[in-house]
Structure formats: structure tokens, C-alpha cells
Amino acid sequence: MSVQDTSADLPPQPPYAWIMVAVAFGLQTLSFGGVGSVGVFLKPLTEEFGWSRGEVSAGYSALALSAAAFGILWGWLADRKGARHIALFGVLMMGISFFALSWTGSLWYYYLMYFAFGALGNSAVGTPIYATVGYWFTRNQGLAIGVMAAGGAFGQAVVPFAARLLISAWDWQTAYAVIGISFLVIGIPLALLVRDPPARLVVANRLATPESASEPEHLAPPALVLPFLSAAAFFCCICMSVPIVHTVALVSDRGFAPEAAASVLLVLMIAGIGGRILGGRLADMVGPLNGWMLMSLGQTALVFAFPFVEGLWATWVLAAIFGVVYSGDMSSILVTARMMLPARIAARSLGIVIFFGWLGMGTGAWGGGAIFDVAGDYVWSYAVAAGGGIINLLILMTFRIVLANGGFSRSSSLLVRQ
């Protein structure tokens, strides 16, 4: 009997399941919209204050590192208290911190506000919701998680483009303020609709083993799973973060108007909506580990092309294809963690994986800017991103071999379809 077979003992899939997916989609739109907009503010802030690109892009690193660290805390609390009140607090902090960025006048304040957005906003909306949505479903879990994750891509398409239009029409201060208020107006009603799934409680009771730290027969031990997933997520996110944060500046450096440069990120993220759904569905079809490897292969192969593709149309095409595979990676990380980690520690375990993912995002974002400051162009920045993708693939292939040969046949049949 595989992990999926346990669905026979769960209650029927509640009608609220897909409503919860829609709610999660909206919350991820706001959360990752704020994250994705960092690159749009990159050049306006360097021009306003004379900061280097490495210094400004380090705001993304502050966000990523704080989201990484606090995601574990929010996950631990969600395992005990549920996700609803945590999500509501996260929405409030996202709106407040983004509005407060409109008063930026120094680097320390700029970093502090992005730290608050990541630690108290993004991570509170992220980890508890990720760990909740999958347990509303007894079938098509990968598809459901993929649709939820597509909200992040939608947000990274719409919010940065809206921010660019606001900057062009008024200024960067107005853009920050309007986005912060919008987060509150849209996010609070969504957070009030968050519910914890009844199915998750049933799964938790089945998997809990108070007398022993051992896991059910169909699961590999978390002590084995977590290091592999965390390491793979770290290098996978190094690879994807450089295009996400620096592509707008890269295209703008070629002489294109700021709106045209922002449109490349818009195309990348819109394509990512389908990519996240595809990644989730692919996990249901071939197993999440195989799906993750396929998407990572595409991401790694394409990322180094960005500095060498110069025409706007060609860059749009590259961005669209990259958006599909990078977003498929995001879904694959979430689905693999959901299917391999036990329900009783789902949120905190996912928080650990996301910690290393955010650590990779922050490292790649800062490194891309710092390398540009030294080299004077983005070739080496994107080369390092490709190197992160290669290491990620090697880790996933090693994990696949360990699962296939380590006596975890039941988890292997689920995660690695032969």
C-alpha cells in the first residue's frame, strides 16, 4: 500500500477544498508579488540614493533570509494552532511593511522593512498555507498544490508590472504605498477564509507514533529526506533567483524603456502560472521527484542564455520558456515535500525545506548583483546561476538512487515512478 492508498480511509474530499485552493492562490499572489517587485525598484533606488546594485538587491536577500528563518517558526505554530490567524497576521504585516517602504531614506531602514516583510509577512502567509492545502485533497494533490503555487507566479507577473506603471506615473514612493494598501484591502478578506482541513487531522493521527520516532513503512525517515530536499532546494533557488531579480535591470541596460524591461518579467511570470500547474500535474503523473528533475534540467539549460539573447522578442520567448520550467520547479519542491514528509510535522518540516530555498534565493539575488558590480556585466552572474542548477540536479539524482536502493520501496514507488 502506497501513501496515496491512505486516501481510502480519509473522509470524502470536502467541497471547501477547491475554495481553499482559490484562497491560497490569492494569498500567494500578494506574497510573491511583493517579492517579485524588488527588481523593479532596483534602478529607481540606485538613481535616487546612489546605492550600488549589490546593495539594493541585498534587500531581496534580507527578505529571503528572514522568510527562511521565520518560516520554521510559523510552521511549528501552524502544526499546533492552525493556519488561519497566522495568515491574517502575515497579511497585516505585508501591507504595513510595504507601505512603510515608501519612507525609505537609508539602507538600514530599507533592509529592515524587507526583513519585516519576509519574517512577519511572507513566511506567515507561506509555510502554513503550503502545509495546509494538500491535506484538503485525497486525490490530485499535485494538481491542487500546483494551482495554489500558480498564484505566486501570477503575483510576480502582475505586482511588479503594476509597480513599474506606478513608478512611471508618479514615483517609487507612491508605488510602495499603493501596493501596501492594496495588500491590506485584498488580503484581509482572503485570510479570514482560511480553514484547516479535517483530512489533515486524520492523516496526522494515522502517522503519529508517540512511542517511537520511526515512520510508517511507506515513508523514508525525515532524517534522510530533509537534508536531500533542503540541499536541492538551496541550489535550485540560487539558479532561479538571478533571472527573477536581475532580468529587468539586464534588459534595461540594453537601452530598452523601463516598461519594456518590466514586460520581460511579466511574460516570465505569466508563463510561470501554467508552469506551476504543469509541475503539480506532472508530479501526479510521473512522481514529484522525476518531475522536479525534468523541470530543473530545463531551468539549468536555459538560465545562462539570458545575457546573450538581446532582441526584445527573443528575450520574451526565452523568458516564457524559462518561466514554465522554473515555476514547475517551485511546484515540484512543494509536492515532493508534501508526499515525503509525515503529516504530524508537515508544516515545520516544510518550513525547513523552504528555509533552505529562501537561503538560496537570497544568496543568488545578492550574488547576482555583487558579481555585476565587480564584472560590469551579467555574464558571470548568470553563469553562477547555471552552476547552482547543475549542483541541484546532481543532488536530486543522488537522492533518487538512495531511494531506489535504500530499502524504501514504497516511498520510491510514489516519488520515483519506474
Gyration radius from the chain CA atoms: 20
C-alpha cell at 66: 528572514
Cα–Cα distance measured from residue 334 to residue 338, given in angstroms and rounded to the nearest whole number? 6
pLDDT at 118: 92
**Number of independent structural domains in the chain:** 1
- Give domain status of residue 188, yes or no: yes
Residue linked to cell 484581509: 188
Cα–Cα distance measured from residue 295 to residue 192, given in angstroms and rounded to the nearest whole number? 34
Element (H, E) at 210: none
- Give domain status of residue 202, yes or no: no
- Give domain status of residue 204, yes or no: no
pLDDT at 199: 55
pLDDT at 187: 95
Range of the domain at 230: 17-196+218-415
Q: Largest Cα–Cα distance in the chain?
A: 65
* Cα angle 125, 179, 162; round to 5: 110
Residue linked to cell 509577512: 121
Cα dist from 324 to 100, 165, 321, whole Å: 33, 25, 5
Burial class (CB in 10 A: 0-12, 13-18, 19+), 138: buried
pLDDT at 359: 84
- Give domain status of residue 349, yes or no: yes
- Give domain status of residue 145, yes or no: yes
pLDDT at 89: 95
- Give domain status of residue 394, yes or no: yes
- Give domain status of residue 362, yes or no: yes
Do 203 and 11 touch, CB atoms closer than 8 A? no
Q: Render each residue's pLDDT in the chain as its tens digit; 418 residues.
A: 334 444 445 556 778 888 999 999 999 999 989 887 887 898 899 999 988 878 888 888 888 888 878 888 887 787 777 788 899 999 999 999 999 999 999 999 999 999 999 999 998 988 788 777 877 777 777 788 888 888 887 887 789 889 989 998 999 999 999 999 999 999 999 999 998 877 555 544 554 444 434 444 446 777 788 899 999 999 999 999 899 888 888 888 888 887 788 788 888 888 888 888 888 888 778 888 888 899 999 999 999 999 998 888 999 999 999 999 988 888 888 888 877 777 667 677 777 888 898 788 878 888 888 898 888 889 999 999 999 999 999 999 999 888 877 655 444 444 545 3
pLDDT at 60: 81
Output the domain CATH number for residue 164. 1.20.1250.20
- Give domain status of residue 209, yes or no: no
**Other C-beta atoms lying within 10 Å of the C-beta of residue 180:** 21
C-alpha cell at 43: 534602478
